[in-house]
Amino acid sequence: MTNKNVIFFDIDGTLLNGEKKLPTSTKESIFKLKELGHEVAIATGRAPFMFEDLRKELEIDTFVSYNGQYVVVKGELVYANPLHIPSLQKLAEKALENNHPVVFMDHEDMRATVPEHNYINESLASLKLDHFPTHDPHYYKGRDLYQSLLFCEEGNEVQYEQEFTDFDFIRWHPYSVDILPKGGSKAIGIEKAAEILGYPEEKRYAFGDGLNDIEMLSTVKNSVAMGNAEDIVKSAAQHITKSVESNGIHHGLKMLGLL
């Protein structure tokens, strides 16, 4: 394994461009990495069911999903960190009083506390998904949930952050915030996966662009921020590549000597 590495890629804004398309150069680079014997994995805030087609297209069976809360290695679940359900129930009840919908998410599906809401539609439509949540305000009962979504305007999440200290809140859209177990992150998920795969720290690489990538980029020894990332994200990384629209994955891999 001396010359082999594991490379974790974020999806939105990293593998996929603003139109949620996979650039040809990125796809070719992924398969070239595998041809050279490297391990290719995904590290995303998305649910597993939100990128199944991408995994099939790129032939990837190792992934860190839900920002590190649900980790699969070689097709097998190796780590799960569910949300604290009693606290989540209280949060959802308060959110309903404030006309802030919540979407509950497990590894297979997602359900909303309200039948319909513009914030849900607009936020999830930005991901170019075919799958939208149906209405089930009690979906939290009797199952493990690894992430939830709170839908509110920027700044309104502060009241929840102050009251619900079991959770971390990470905004990913003007109308939507991820709800995660406190302290959960892609960095922890990557650590779990890389240990099982047998790659030491110096053989681990990560590419990302979002606010939820900051801990990953500041923790993984060989980290790369996309050129389209915000400055605060770039400052967390060891390296900066071009934007996803400018063949940033290919450029970054060449820069690192992986291709």
What confidence tier does 65 reach under pLDDT thresholds 50, 70, 90?
A: very high
CA distance 160 to 150: 10
CA distance 196 to 46: 22
What confidence tier does 130 reach under pLDDT thresholds 50, 70, 90?
A: confident
Extract the tokens encoding 47. 């649910």
> Residues near 74 by Cβ (< 8 Å), separated by ≥ 6?
61, 62
Extract the tokens encoding 158. 């502060």
**Which residues are catalytically annotated?**
10
pLDDT in tens, 108-118: 999 999 999 99
In this prediction, residue 2 carries a pLDDT of 62
CA distance 123 to 102: 12
CA-based radius of gyration for the chain: 18
Whether pTM exceeds 0.85: yes
Q: Is 248 exposed, middle or buried (0-12, 13-18, 19+ CB in 10 A)?
A: buried
In this prediction, residue 249 carries a pLDDT of 98
* Residue ranges of domains in the chain, CATH in brackets: 6-80+184-255 (3.40.50.1000), 85-181 (3.30.1240.10)
